Amino acid sequence: MRPENWQLWLRKNEKLLIIIVSGALIILGWLMGYFSPLARAILMTAAALAAGFPIAKTAWYALRAEVISIHLLVTIAALGGILIGDQWEAAAVTFLFALGEFLEARTLAKTRDAIGQLLDLVPAAATVLRDGQEIEVDPSEVGTGESVLVRSGGKIPVDGIVTKGSASVNQAAITGESIPVEVTSGSQVFSSSIVEAGYLEIQAQRVGEDTTFARILHMVEEAQERKAPTQKFIEKFSRWYTPAIIALAALTGLFTRNLHTALTLLVIGCPGALVISTPISMVAGIGNAAKSGVLVKGGEFLEKAGKVTLIAFDKTGTLTTGKTEVTAISALLGDEEEVLRLAAAVEKGSEHHIGSAILRRASSFPLPAAEGIQVFAGGGISGQVEGKRILVGNRRLLEQHNIILPPESEEWLTAREEMGETPVPVAAEGKVIGAIAIADTLRPEARETAAKLQQMGKKVVMLTGDNPRTAGTIARQLGLDEFQANLLPGDKVEAIKSYQAQGQIVAMVGDGINDTPALAAADLGIAMGAAGTDAAIETADLTLMSDDLDRLIGALGLGRATLANIRQNVIFAVAVVLLLVAGVLGQKVFLATGMLAHEASVMLVILNAMRLLAWKPNTR
């Protein structure tokens, strides 16, 4: 092996080598003790120094940063053991602490396997068409708009639109859904998805660090560094707890005149298990979420997910599929085609789902130009068409423009609302000329999701800009606890604040685009079906990458399981310290056994947290 390789190997395995050297010296010291007490003392001291030097160095760096660390307690205890002639205890304390740190590091690495597994999905190369030739390049070198080729077994290296071919694609890296989806020309595909069978030509839209997968990786890595409130509290607690333990040990030594007991108090008082109890659970929980297609922005939000008491849903695109269609047209003046034609002309300037449905219905005939387009948030749209001012919207918008709704149109609108549809009046030059009814299909799992949330003890409500009759029909169909209708974006924010004033911890579930103010106002903003949507990923605290509402049940359940895991770890860590203190004062726990119990408690806390990596929601 080359010298540089040896140096690299030594750096990687430094902790293991220290443990081996220290352990060998301890064994040799025990054997030599049968022949020479002096040799035993020298070898035990050497073992303590071998394991203790890195610990003391870390303690020194921490002190320079004005932090009294656990490493300082161990260093003081080891030096004290050597000075009072108890070299075996000093060697045992430093060896066990070093061994504990090594095992902790190895075990903690396993809790980050979710990131490692995600990194394994990053495509190593991309095949692009340049000048009619297939060229293999690094994925970061693909240009926007270039054609990328992916064959069976290959990883898609970009976000883009399929321009040619068809394939069965596994999008688990993005959505967490392991069942492949069938894609064809016009389909959206995402980086790091795997083509299981087929052939695709893809026009690149997002490349390199801009892909959905790259953003997910970045945000999951950031999330594992962000601290939850419980973690922040415990870190603050440990800042005064550690100096307090030093003071307690000093006082114990002064009053009992037993330096050995004082040193043992220093060792068993180390708050290692307590300090690690929250971050290790959070890392494991966030890792589990990442594998399941749930993007959590940090431990703070995973903790909030476990405390939510009320779930507020937007209707369109959340409880419904968002795939709206025109179901009926009513004409008061002119014919139905004229009503549809004028409404569609104005809706060309809209991005709303209602406008999209109207445009799809009117796609078979040419539309006149519209000028002076004005969009009314939560109300509708207006514009100048063929010299007439056309307004398409809801009742509130008509009232704002002093337009009277004729009785016959009112009856038609009411009937459609009671069917769960959304009727949209159309006015020209201040008079209602007709109306268009829009229907949106409820998600198949919406009713079951609402029922499961209620079984979990959550209150389930709907906040929508739709009219009260339509909203009421949908709320009854889904079995919701409550609904509020005719809400503008600002009204939704006020509704959330009113729930919070009642003591509710509110999660708002929306599409992450239209409901940005409500998502921001809620204690926990949840965007669903956000794969490839920048606004959703940036706005929400917790993002469901697929359109499946069942992911919400899993995310909230994981939050609750993580909170429970943290409580278990904290209670266990505190109980161990209290029992060990009692053991020390009762002369039942000594320096080496105290350190062994301390390290064992840290490992048990880590192992308990690792259970979260395998946690799955109860699907019954």
CA–CA gap between residue 482 and residue 461 (Å, rounded): 5
CB 304 within 8 Å of CB 577? no
> Residue 602 in 3-state DSSP?
helix
In the numeric block, which tokens belong to residue 231? 């973690």
SS (H, E, C) 192-213: CCEEEEEEEEEEEEECHHHCHH
Name the burial class of residue 488, with classes exposed (0-12), middle (13-18) and buried (19+) by CB atoms within 10 angstroms of its CB: middle
Query: Nearest Cα to 436, choosing from 341, 554, 313?
Result: 341
Contact status, residue 215 vs residue 551, Cβ threshold 8 Å:
no
Tell me 306's DSSP state: T
Residues 86, 159, 314, 511: which is the catalytic one?
314
Separation of CA 285 from chain center: 9
Please state, in angstroms and rounded to a whole number, the distance separating the CA atoms of residues 537 and 531.
8
210 belongs to the catalytic site: no
Q: Are 545 and 530 in contact (CB under 8 A)?
A: yes
Q: Which amino acid is at 445?
A: E
Contact 579, 269 (CB under 8 A): no
Neighbour count for residue 253 (Cβ, 10 Å): 18
What is the rounded CA–CA span in Å between residue 393 and residue 377? 10
- Residues 529 and 321: their CA atoms lie apart, in Å, by 10
Question: What is the H or E stretch that residue 111 is in?
Answer: helix 87-111
Give the contacts of 381 (CB within 8 A, at least 6 positions apart): 346, 347, 349, 350, 352, 355, 373, 374, 375, 391, 392, 393
Cα separation values, 431 from 56, 291, 468, 470, 591, Å: 85, 55, 24, 24, 90
Pairing between β-strand 159-170 and β-strand 181-183 as defined by DSSP bridges: antiparallel
Amino acid of residue 150 = V
**Phi/psi of residue 462, nearest 5 degrees:** -125, 130
CB atoms within 10 A of CB 21: 15
- How far apart CA 338 and CA 137 sit, in angstroms, is 54
H-helix or E-strand spanning residue 183: strand 181-183
Q: Tokens at residue 489, please? A: 């974006």
Positions annotated as catalytic residues are 314
